[in-house]
Each structure stands twice: as structure tokens, then as C-alpha cells.
Chains A and B, each alone.
Chain A
Amino acid sequence: MKILVCITHVPDTTSKIQFTENNTQFDKNGVQFIIGPYDDYALARAVELKEQLGASLTVMNVGESDSDPTLRKALAIGADDAIRVNAFPKDSLFVANQIAHIAKSNGYELILMGRESIDFNGGMVHGMVGELLGMPSISPVMKLEVEGDTVKMSREIEGGKEYVEAKLPLIAGCQEPIAEWKIPNMRGIMSARTKPFSVVEPVVEEGNSRVISYELPPAKAGVKLVDKDNVEELVRLLKNEAKVL
């Protein structure tokens, strides 16, 4: 079986977020980039499946050359080869088009990715790729087993759990607890250097959105503590100050 895991190259969760160019560009200065945490779960599960099923495992990213270390880390964790589509990931549709193109040309049967990236948190790419390829796309997937050509998945829904079965090929947007994050071992890191790594040009597809400007959320206001017996005061504050009632 051929597995593809799509990896985002995103700022570390503790990064200080700043913007430049009149609030139209994210300021990468001093920011550490990591494998998207949800993609990391997808990758961890894929590594397990690879061992269990003897599958091949490719990782891909749509990004510029600064994502190379992130892809090499995915190789260190256990992927066999990596593909980078050499383009700035303009928006979800643009990225989905690139993934669909790569997936179609190489015939991957199981395409895993995070339920969403943690930079823009769009959570749309898996659905779009499904649409573009005419494959089922399920998200968020918290458990995933492959039996023959059937994939058994489960996910949490409002008030319960949903069990889903589908035939390969399919796309899944993953999240914990599908697998535990893997720390690459030293041998994996050393072998990453020699694994196939290809850089391909994007299929020319424009995105369908454009960033006008970024804005930081307002700083958190202080907390007010209200005595538990003083419900009236609480209501007054919620009405007059917070203006939520």
C-alpha cells in the first residue's frame, strides 16, 4: 500500500506572533517552525501502519525551501521519501490542488493529514482534496485501522462516538489520540539525509482567496472575582461591563 502524509510547516505553538508589511505578512523572524501538531499525529499513525502493513510512506509539503528541515524531520521520524511542491502555500484550495495532483500522479491509496493546520486553522484541505479526487474524506479521525481494503475509523461527535468504515482509497484528517507523537531516534535522523527528497514545481492553479490584513486579538483583560454569594453583582457586571447578557 502507498501512504501519503501531508505535512504543514507551522510556527511553534509558543511563538510570539507579529506582522510586517503593514500587517499583510507574518513576521517569520526568530520564529521556530515545526511539523503541524495534527499532522504529527497523522505521521505517527502512518509510521505504525507502514510497519504493520509493510506499506510505503511518502511525506509532502507545499512550501518554500525553508520547509525542508521540517520535511527532513518527517523522514527522520520514519517516512521513506519526501516531496516538496515548491510554492508559497497561498490558500487552502491552492494547496489542495497541489496535493491532488501529486496524489493522482503517484497513486497513493491512503492520504493522511492533520484535521487542520495550526497557523490558519482552515480545516478545509482534506475535504477539498477529496472533492478534487472523488475520494471519501473523513475528519476528524481519532482512531484508524486498515483491514484489507477497508478502513475502520472512529471519531467523537456531539454526545457520543461515531464509527465509520470506508474503502480505500480515502483521505483522513487526523487528531489525537490516533497515535502518540514520535520523537525521531538518532539513527532515523542520520538516515534522513540519504532518503529521496524531491522538489517539484506547482501545477499552476491560483487560489481563490487573498489576505487583506492581519490583526492580533485584543490583549486579555484582567479577571474580576465575584463572591459566590453575590449573584446580583455578577449579573450586573455581565450586563453592564461585559455586555454579554
Chain B
Amino acid sequence: METIKKSINGGEFLIKETAAEDIFIFEEFSEEQKMMAQACQDFVDTEITPRIEEIDSMKNPDLVPQIFKKAGELGLLGISVPEVFGGMGMSFNTSMLIADIIGAAGSFSTTYGAHTGIGTLPILYYGTEDQKNKYLPKLATGQWAACYCLTEPDAGSDANSGKTKATLSADGKHYVLNGQKMWISNAGFADLFIVFAKIEDDKNLTAFIVEKSFGGITMNEEEKKMGIKGSSTRQVFFNDCQVPVENMLSDRQNGFKIAVNILNIGRVKLGAGVLGGVRTVTSLAIKYSTERKQFGVSINTFGAIKAKLAEMAIRTFATEALCYRAGQDIEDRINSLIAEGMQDSEAKLKGVEQFAIECAIAKVHGSEVLDYVVDQGVQVYGGMGYSADAPMERAYRDARISRIYEGTNEINRMLMVGMLLKRAMKGEVNIFEPAMAVSKELTSVPSFESLDTSTLFAAEKDVLNKLKKVFLMVGGKAAMSLQDRIEDEQEVMMNLADVMIEIYAAESAILRAEKLVGLRGEESCQQQIAMAKVYLSEAAEKINIAAKEAIASFTSGDEQKVMLMGLKRFTKMDLVDTKSLRRQIADFMIEKGHYPFS
């Protein structure tokens, strides 16, 4: 029998240690998964990259639908859809891997994500058998394209405040939709619309499956956007659009919950979905810096350039580590729920919901690493980085959307802290007890026991444990002294979120390197070890700043002094020569000629 791994609960990484063998790392994908990833890469390289300008020009309205159909023929649109509904029924982490590779496809990655994620999953997870049988095979094969209509001109981050109305017709057979949606990806060529609307004076939204052929749907022109220009984005108007009552999705007023749960999945996939782009940009920067000569030498011989190349790789390595760790935790949880007898769709939702904090972390970390990497990519290219004839300019523009959609990064930061506190209140994640222990530790004499640092990463793990104490100290105190008012102290929420994100990312990077050493030996993992060390050192600095800001904002007097002393104690670490490590990493990559770590 297959053993089902019981991972720790969502958010518990802040209070528990995780062993390297308990996380999944990119390097463990099977031959079959790698073949799928390669097929997907070949699709991007042959169908998309050579035509990226034509796609973005939107001059040929048939082009994207054609490429979309091709993706359907390859099976890429049905990765998460079970085989009985015409899909591939692949595991959660495989779907992350495919999203990762498609991430190099510029605007098409939004087309892909909107269809396979927010467009298809609501039906898969909340549809009746009839709805699933009717729509999923069409969506999984690409015969139909889907879009997701949640946002309205006056309802963006506050999505539940939408004004679109659904009114039951006199004969009780239809809901009649009226209203306006905005920023709808894929709207231009979609055959199916997942629409959120309010029935009468309901507090919450209700979701509907709307076919274009129902009529009463009109659209504005394509939005003129900063980036992902080849991805269709339109305003959609519903004017007496007649939706048969059987096309309500799930129950009345359940729409907001659907939106939230589907976004959880979207977020962790967006985290992975930046990776294809990030790797491509890093590899291009490595190549360009080798070819470009100034002062008689390749610019990759300059320390300032090496530092950038290395830092691009270090952050990418951490995003990869945390996304696939979270992806596998979700997958393991889904499998264990199914083994306990839970129904498939419900298990998938519950599995993801359990790790909603990690999903939000993946979204924020991934999108910010993407922005960092494209920014440095432009810089490495110098003037050519600013030219629309070279690839960096597009990458820079395309990247920016990721911090905005699937919940802005501000909303996601608040969500992860809010969710953790809520779980703590409910007793699901026990942060208060360890927080009390930390606050006791603050007033006791520090232990002078010296740490045995002879095993790999012993020192780093000790640092990580202390960084977790920083979170418990500041987060615990904030929760106690601010209580409900914490919602109004968004700056503190942002600080706490930053601490959470950096702990999860640094720990994931260390565990990935450690696991890899176990698989391949220390000798062949020198760069990964270096990357994990540099990441942790930077994370500790960021955590220090975020925690200090928070402490300054809501404490004073002796309490503040004690906490600052605690912060000093908990962020203390041996100095890391990041310069030398970055040079070593950069030299290795320059020798390989591309991002060589996945």
C-alpha cells in the first residue's frame, strides 16, 4: 500500500521544524513529469516565442485562439481535469510544473492561467455531475475557451461588493443577468463565462456558468495595457442575459467562497507560473553579459554584474523551493483526505484551503522575485534592456501584472497574517503557547551553550529557529496588544507578512539544498549550498528591518527595550561573505551559460 505522508498543517512552519526529507524538491520530478515539462517547453519554443511580437500586436485575432487550440491538442489545457471528463487527471504538483514552464510564454501564460485555473476549476470543484459532463470535456480539450468575471469597475479588491444582478424570471426558468465586469482575461474569445452576481439583496455573490450563446453579452474594445498585450482583456456587459436556472454554480450566495477558494489555487500556481519567465530572463542575462564587451572585456567579468546574476538565481532557487514544497504539501493532504473517504473535489479544495497561507506566500514571493529578476535583467542589458528590439523590455512590462491580479500583494499579505491569527484563535495553529515561551525567554538569561556546527546547515537551522522566534515575539505581542485593531494597523500586518514570507522562503531554500546534498553528495551541490546560505543571510536582514518597524510602531518604554534586545539576540548570525559566494555562483552559471539549477 502506498504510504500517505502526513505533512504539518498550513502555517505551522512558523512553529515547527521540517526535515529535509519531508519536502519535495524540483530535482525529484520523475522522468515522465520531466518529459511533460519538456513537451510544454517545446510548445513554448516553437509556437509562442517565435511569434511573440505578432501575438502581442493583436493584429490577427485568430492567432491566439489557434495557439490555444494547439495547446488543447497537446493536452495542456486538461492537466488538472480528471480523465473521465476528458482531461489528464494529473497531480497537483504536475500542474504546478506545467504552469511553471508556460510562465515563459509572456501574455499566453495569462491566457493559459485564466482558462485552466479560474475559468475551468470552478466547474470542476463546484459543478454538479451534469455541469461537469457538459462543460469540462469542452474546456479540457480547448474546444471552448473560458473566462472568469468577478471584478467590476467599483469592485476590485473588495470583490464581494459587486453590483451585477441576477433576477429570477417570471416563469422561474432563468436568471437574468445585468451588470458590468472589468479586466476580464480571455473575454475576447471566450465561449464560457464564470460570472459572479447578486440575487436580490443577498449579502454574498452567487456564481453562474454562462455560455456566450445565451446572448445578452457585449464587450468593450481590448484594454490598452502596459504588458501581456497579447492577452485579451475586456470589459464585459450583461444586458438581460438569460441563464437557465440549472446553470447556477453551487448554492445561492456561495459565490464568494468559490472565488476565494479558486483564488487560493490560482495563487500558488501563479507562484510557480513566474518561474519559466524568471529562468528565461536569468539565462538571457547570463548569455548577454558573456557576449557584451566593454572596457575590452565581457561585462560578466565585472563584480557588479556577477552579483546581479547570482542574486537573480538565488531568489529563483528560493521561489522554486517554496512553490514545489507547498505544492507537494497540498498534494499529500489531498491524497490523505481521499484515503479517509472524502470525495475527490472536496478533498482538493480542503487540501488547498489548509495551505492557503503558503499559497499567498507563493504568490507574493513569486511575483516579487519575477519583478526583481526582470528589473536586473534590464540593467544587465544596459541600453539594450530599454530597447523594444531586445527581449528584456517585454519581460519587464509583462512581469508587472503578477503583483496585481489574483489578489494584489497587499491583499495577500494581509490575508496571510489574518488567516494565521484566525487559526490561532480557533486553536488550529498553536502560536500563542510558543509565543509565550519566547516572551519568557526574553526576560531570562540567554544560554551560552555553543552550537555544534559540524553538520551541514546546523548553524543555518539555528538561525531559522531564532527567526521564527522573531515572528512569535512580534506577532504574538501585536495580536495581544492590538487585538482586533490589528486590522487597522496594516503597516504592522505588512511587516508580519514580510517576516512570514522570508522565513518560509529561506527555510525552503535550506531544506532544498540539504535534501539535494543527500541525493547527490555535498561535492556536487556547492552552488546550491551557497545560494541557500546567501538567501538566509539576506532574509535575516529583511526580517530584522520588518520586525524593528513593527516594534517601533506599537510598543514603547521598557517593553520596547526588551523586544529590541530580543530582536538583536534572535537575528544574530555569523557574518556571511555574500560577495564571495555570489561570485562563485555567478562564475558557475557563466561557465554553464544558463540558469543551471532546475
A interface list, Cβ under 8 A from B: 16, 30, 69, 72-73, 76, 181, 183-187, 189-190, 192-193
Number of interface residues of B (CB under 8 A): 19
Specify the chain A residue showing the minimal Cβ separation from B78. A186
Q: Are A189 and B32 in contact (CB under 8 A)?
A: yes
Known: A69-B31, A183-B42, A190-B88. 15 other contacts (CB 8 A): A73-B35, A181-B46, A183-B43, A185-B39, A185-B73, A185-B74, A186-B88, A186-B90, A187-B88, A189-B32, A189-B35, A189-B36, A190-B32, A192-B32, A193-B32
With known contacts A30-B592, A185-B75, A186-B76, A69–B39 Cβ distance under 8 A: no
CB 8 Å contact bits of B6-43 with A (1 = contact, 0 = none): 00000000000000000000000001100110010011
B interface list, Cβ under 8 A from A: 31-32, 35-36, 39, 42-43, 46, 73-76, 78-79, 88, 90, 592-593, 596
Interface of B: prevailing SS? helix
Q: How far is the CB of A176 from chain B (nearest CB, A)?
A: 13
Contact partner of A72 (CB less than 8 A), chosen from B31, B74, B90, is B31
Cβ contacts under 8 Å, A186 to chain B: 36, 39, 74-76, 78-79, 88, 90
Distance between Cα atoms of A46 and B36 in the complex (Å): 22
Cβ contacts under 8 Å, B76 to chain A: 186
Q: Are A16 and B593 in contact (CB under 8 A)?
A: yes
Q: Which 9 A-B pairs have the closest CB atoms?
A: A186-B75, A185-B74, A183-B42, A185-B75, A186-B88, A183-B39, A184-B39, A189-B35, A69-B31
Residue with the highest number of chain A CB atoms closer than 10 Å, among B35, B88, B90: B35
Distance between Cα atoms of A154 and B592 in the complex (Å): 41
Specify the chain A residue showing the minimal Cβ separation from B38. A73
> Could you show 29 A-B contacts with beta carbons less than 8 Å apart?
A16-B592, A16-B593, A30-B596, A69-B31, A72-B31, A72-B35, A73-B35, A76-B35, A76-B39, A183-B39, A183-B42, A183-B74, A184-B35, A184-B39, A185-B39, A185-B73, A185-B75, A186-B39, A186-B75, A186-B76, A186-B79, A186-B88, A186-B90, A187-B75, A189-B32, A189-B36, A190-B88, A192-B35, A193-B32
Q: How far is the CB of B41 from chain A (nearest CB, A)?
A: 9
Distance between Cα atoms of A30 and B594 in the complex (Å): 12
Distance between Cα atoms of A30 and B39 in the complex (Å): 20
Q: How far is the CB of B417 from chain A (nearest CB, A)?
A: 38
Cβ contacts under 8 Å, A187 to chain B: 75, 88
Q: Are B39 and A189 in contact (CB under 8 A)?
A: yes
Specify the chain B residue showing the minimal Cβ separation from A68. B31
Cβ contacts under 8 Å, B31 to chain A: 69, 72
Cβ contacts under 8 Å, B593 to chain A: 16
Q: Are A69 and B75 in contact (CB under 8 A)?
A: no
Residue with the highest number of chain A CB atoms closer than 10 Å, among B32, B90, B592, B593: B32
Distance between Cα atoms of A30 and B73 in the complex (Å): 32
Cβ contacts under 8 Å, A181 to chain B: 46
Cβ contacts under 8 Å, B73 to chain A: 185
Q: How far is the CB of A203 from chain B (nearest CB, A)?
A: 29
Distance between Cα atoms of A187 and B88 in the complex (Å): 7
Distance between Cα atoms of A185 and B78 in the complex (Å): 11
Distance between Cα atoms of A189 and B37 in the complex (Å): 11
Specify the chain B residue showing the minimal Cβ separation from A32. B38
Cβ contacts under 8 Å, A30 to chain B: 592, 596
Distance between Cα atoms of A69 and B46 in the complex (Å): 22
Q: Are A69 and B35 in contact (CB under 8 A)?
A: yes
